Amino acid sequence: MRVLITGVAGFIGSNLAAALVAEGHRVDGVDNLSQGSLLNLESLRGSPRFTFTEADVLDERTLVECARGADALYHLAAYKIPRYGSASQTLTINLVGCGNAIRAAQTSGAHLIYASTSDVYGKNPACPFSEDDDLVIGPPQVRRWAYALSKAVGEQHIFAAAADSPFPFTVVRFFGGYGPGQHLSWWGGPQAVFINNVIDGEPLTLHGTGLQTRSFTYIDDHVAALVRIPAVAASRGEVINLGSDEEVTIRDLAERIWRLMKPGESPRLTLVPYETFGRYEDVQRRVPNNAKARRLLGVAPEWSLDRGLPATIAWQLARRRHVDQRA
């Protein structure tokens, strides 16, 4: 195949690109490097099957041009929950970027694989979440819902565009990815911040009570599912959860990381009230029903936290040393 990946220098994009190239596919990657890093693409440097274009998904003309001849287009570029940044920026990048990806896929005939998020389930109490469950979003005064809404509207945009002018697509809802290549800030998730806290000799910072639960999915499990999708005709026109169903509290995650990095020492934890972020709401449980991924794609999560966290910690320690040496 020839594949285009937006957000290729990011966490999922870079790991997906490496896996596809290793399988013999041709990969073209697009990223504006606002959150992604060229360090994530070092293993692909010099590969004749990989090309990189520094460009923004808001640039429709460039995205359409990059997609010419592509068999599959993975649209991964996005802005996340605006905890510290601009909700307007999150909405613009995610909504306009999705529209541009749709037009690029329609022009090229590529199978569009759209990266949505588990956040779209919002405050629905019916956990674990199935793909047909209701999406329950909070009020507009709470800017954390900007991300979930932008992704939910993106899903609707894709279904509507395909109804008007059919093209192949698959929507995937990611649950808590982590592992090598993850962003080293809250952008990358709580596990990235907790590892940094330990490295820097700081207490581990938990938002709220720390008793909210999540499922964390090692990157290899996400990638294993993603590389299967273009070859599986039954995935077309579907929404598919991709994630581990191992539920853990954020507090337990923090304590596990502390024990792995500082065995024998009692964890030092700090609770940060949600009010620190202004008017804010959090989701208390987020776990997928991943039966559909098993049935359609023939994949299931293979990495437990006990296996994935040590590998992630080792990678982040090495990345921090590398970044510090370059500073």
Catalytic residue numbers read 147
Query: Measuring CA to CA, which residue among 131, 110, 134 is closest to residue 122?
Result: 134
| Element spanning 14, H or E | helix 11-22
Helical packing angle, 305-326 and 190-199, nearest 10°: 60
Dihedral sign from CA coordinates of 285, 253, 178, 224: negative
Helix and strand numbers, DSSP H then E, in the chain: 9, 13
| Element spanning 74, H or E | strand 72-75
Q: How far is CA 233 from CA 136, 154, 229, 237, in A?
A: 30, 22, 8, 9
Query: Measuring CA to CA, which residue among 296, 214, 204 is closest to residue 257?
Result: 204
Cα(115)–Cα(7) distance, integer angstroms: 11
